[in-house]
């Protein structure tokens, strides 16, 4: 349960910020993996994605079980994100799939305490969301794949995250 709630928290934090994302045949938008102390992310969407992720930061880095985690996302919405946008979230522990779930991003935003609500207007966004990480999170590496789509199944956003809750410090986590 702890692992699932972690996932849900991470997903919620990101969806609350980025509000959706679409598409099937994803291409790396810049091919860059952004590597930090205890985690990394890659924007996997195409240039046509409605939500362009400019940066993601977390604090503290590395994230610590039992503490608050603040996720900051800087993004640009190229189109209005309408009601009905959704994200597919897959969480893996190593190669094991722990969770595959679809979230209604507007609904999740309403249920949680986020600043952005649907419809999300065009323009720049800089959003921070704090979540409490359960202290039962096992010392392991998680992969979180987030793909978002509009209500019309257009690509919204695509982000892959790897988060390392191993206690060791390492420059090359994966």
Ligand X SMILES: *[C@@H]1O[C@H](CO)[C@@H](O)[C@H](O)[C@H]1NC(C)=O
| Residue ranges that bind ligand X, judged by CB under 6 A | 67-68, 74, 126, 130, 132
- Among 138, 131, 153, residue whose Cα is nearest residue 8: 131
Q: Between 48 and 67, whose beta carbon lies closer to ligand X? A: 67
Extended beta strands in 37-168, E state: 39-43, 51-59, 68-77, 86-93, 96-104, 123-132, 141-149, 155-164
Backbone φ and ψ of 14, nearest 5°: -75, -40
- Among 77, 63, 82, residue whose Cα is nearest residue 157: 77
CB of residue 104 to ligand X, shortest distance in Å: 26
CB of residue 79 to ligand X, shortest distance in Å: 21
Residue 105 per-residue DSSP state: H
The angle formed by the CA atoms of residues 113, 166 and 70, to the nearest 5 degrees, is 20
Residue that has been written with the tokens 């994100």 in this structure: 81
Q: Between 74 and 151, whose beta carbon lies closer to ligand X? A: 74
Q: Between 68 and 102, whose beta carbon lies closer to ligand X? A: 68
Q: Between 41 and 86, whose beta carbon lies closer to ligand X? A: 41
CB of residue 130 to ligand X, shortest distance in Å: 6
CB of residue 83 to ligand X, shortest distance in Å: 26
């Amino acid at each position: 349960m702890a692992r699932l709630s972690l996932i849900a928290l991470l997903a919620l934090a990101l969806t609350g910020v980025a509000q959706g994302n679409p598409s099937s045949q994803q291409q790396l938008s810049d091919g860059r993996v952004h590597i930090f102390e205890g985690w990394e992310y890659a924007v996997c969407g195409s240039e046509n994605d409605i939500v362009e992720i400019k940066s993601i930061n977390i604090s503290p880095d590395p994230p610590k079980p039992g503490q608050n985690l603040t996720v900051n996302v800087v993004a640009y919405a190229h189109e209005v994100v309408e009601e009905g946008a959704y994200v597919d979230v897959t969480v893996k522990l190593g190669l094991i799939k722990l969770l595959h779930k679809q979230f209604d991003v507007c609904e999740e935003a309403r249920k949680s305490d986020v600043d952005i609500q649907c419809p999300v207007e065009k323009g720049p966004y800089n959003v921070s969301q704090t979540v409490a990480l359960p202290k039962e999170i096992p010392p392991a590496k998680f992969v979180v794949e987030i793909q978002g789509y509009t209500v019309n199944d257009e690509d919204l956003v695509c982000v892959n995250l790897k988060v390392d809750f191993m206690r060791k410090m390492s420059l090359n986590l994966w």
